[in-house]
A and B are shown apart, each in its own frame.
Chain A
């Protein structure tokens, strides 16, 4: 057994980052994410890493990407309004294929909204916030232990796919404290980006491995002289207007996720075997949903829980399969009803899908979910 701690979710993310080998953090304070920056400002120099508080979120995102191009695993953290500011450079990381972890501890919106209260309003922003519509990866923790584990996983996926990875946390998960048994160091698996094996003269920064469609990534300052740009580029990293090259680059950006689908399908289920009603919930709401399932079962309702863990790409296929054998799906979420659209798309008419939302910035409770179950049953 590893060390036992009593940690806040945000601390677990910061410490998970250290365990993952993240050695650079650039950020700008915003509630409810600021503890991540505060803790890393103390912890990173201890392990030889670097922390910088930038002048804004745009600069933080830029500096984090810059550090990653120079070979450091890097991260930034923010909440809704700051996440909006990062979106342009998030797109840069997608097209230039730079691994970087972006934590969004969601709060209530729109705009400055309710800074100290929970909501799940950035579910769509995580996936569609930057222009262009290209995919990235987003992972959502529900417990403090998961904050730790999923930060390591986020870093690993970023390195593996050369992609930005969003950790979609929320105020409840970020600020709650839980007793956590940390994994032993030997249990922690850390993945590093694939480096080029060819000499510098032969290196083409965007020549992908046919197997996984991910190009090996040299680091600036290590003898390889290469170009990266946010413009659509050829294998040399040089801008191109050639329709064939443009299409080839764009298709490869899609293909690398398609080929790595197994690694990107991550969800958990609870009591789904004989379920007649399926709850689909993520983040803090999944905790209430778990309790609701237990309570409803006591009263004889056959209910199960499906929790998307990697929320983008959305786990369409496993959800569709389970939805094929239930009578109804309920999607409780603390927003105007965002994930329910994805669920409807995945379920594709196999059964009716009901939305349950709460917008007063208080937590969606187990009893509210039980009530909905009774209504639908």
Chain B
């Protein structure tokens, strides 16, 4: 059971939740709530938006301002909310398909715009909710319901993408490294601008079983054994890094933030008008 402080962020009225036993999404959410709580926020200060997918159902269980939007559009809705209420701390939760396939355009442009949103992708390498079809992050060769012979496309590296598009904070970790999840999300929330945290989250139901990694416990072991810290990865060859999960902070820099820039523009125009 989570601590009392955390429980105030949970809508137990909406339980039982829809997640499968062994799903990583719950661990990630708990870490996120601990991060929010440790920064001293109250439910009213926080807005959580999501798209569609198992990950999309997360805001429903969180006691805060919560908006469950359409598939891939979490960041686009969040952009409107942020511009309307700049004081809200906005967290946009996404699945990997949500973020990188259907929502890919909003993802790169929210990063480029550097709008103050904490974007969290729960990457389970698969489409969970619709039954295990491939995602842009499905590893090359892995099996999925729409890749019965193995996926022949290349895997998207979302952290490299976010970083290149202009996100000011970019980090990747896994739900096995749960303290790191909390720490990275905390840093992302504190960062002014577009901050992106990728949390590799096991989907035993659709990914683990089909790819012979095994049940929830085996998937945790798999996350542990295949994760390589960024510092170490820098010294490894591409062959050695194949099928490894590189974890760590990929970007941490400062750049002008969009809502602030717009506020300044508004002040300038109104000052001139007066």
Residues of B within 8 Å of A228, CB to CB, are 66-68
* Cβ-defined partner of B81 (8 Å) among A52, A69, A229: A69
Residues of B within 8 Å of A24, CB to CB, are 80, 83-84
Indicate whether B77 reaches chain A with its CB closer than 8 angstroms.
Answer: yes
Among A229-249, those with CB < 8 Å from B are: 229-231, 236, 238-239
Residue interface bits B58-89, CB-to-A below 8 A is 1, else 0: 01100111111110010011111111110110
Q: Please state if B80 and A229 are interface contacts (CB–CB under 8 Å).
A: no
Q: Please state if A58 and B76 are interface contacts (CB–CB under 8 Å).
A: yes
Bound complex: CA A63 to CA B258 (Å)? 14
Bound complex: CA A12 to CA B262 (Å)? 25
* Cβ-defined partner of B63 (8 Å) among A74, A225, A229: A225
Known contacts A59-B109, A89-B73, A225-B43: A52-B65 contact under CB 8 Å: no
Q: Please state if B77 and A63 are interface contacts (CB–CB under 8 Å).
A: yes
Interface of chain A, helix or strand or loop or mixed? mixed
In the complex, which range does the number of interface residues on chain A fall in? 35 or more
Residues of A within 8 Å of B105, CB to CB, are 55-56, 59
Residue of A nearest to B42 (CB): A225
Residue of A nearest to B270 (CB): A46
Indicate whether B269 reaches chain A with its CB closer than 8 angstroms.
Answer: yes
Q: Please state if B44 and A72 are interface contacts (CB–CB under 8 Å).
A: no
Q: How far is the CB of B237 from chain A (nearest CB, A)?
A: 37
Among A24-47, those with CB < 8 Å from B are: 24, 26, 45-46
Q: Please state if B265 and A66 are interface contacts (CB–CB under 8 Å).
A: no
Indicate whether B266 reaches chain A with its CB closer than 8 angstroms.
Answer: yes
Q: Please state if B269 and A46 are interface contacts (CB–CB under 8 Å).
A: yes
* Cβ-defined partner of B68 (8 Å) among A62, A63, A88, A231: A231
Q: How far is the CB of B64 from chain A (nearest CB, A)?
A: 6
Residues of A within 8 Å of B266, CB to CB, are 45, 48, 50
* Cβ-defined partner of A226 (8 Å) among B49, B65, B81, B83: B65
Other A-B pairs, 11, CB within 8 Å; known A24-B80, A64-B80: A52-B79, A55-B106, A62-B76, A66-B76, A66-B80, A88-B70, A89-B70, A220-B81, A221-B84, A228-B68, A230-B52
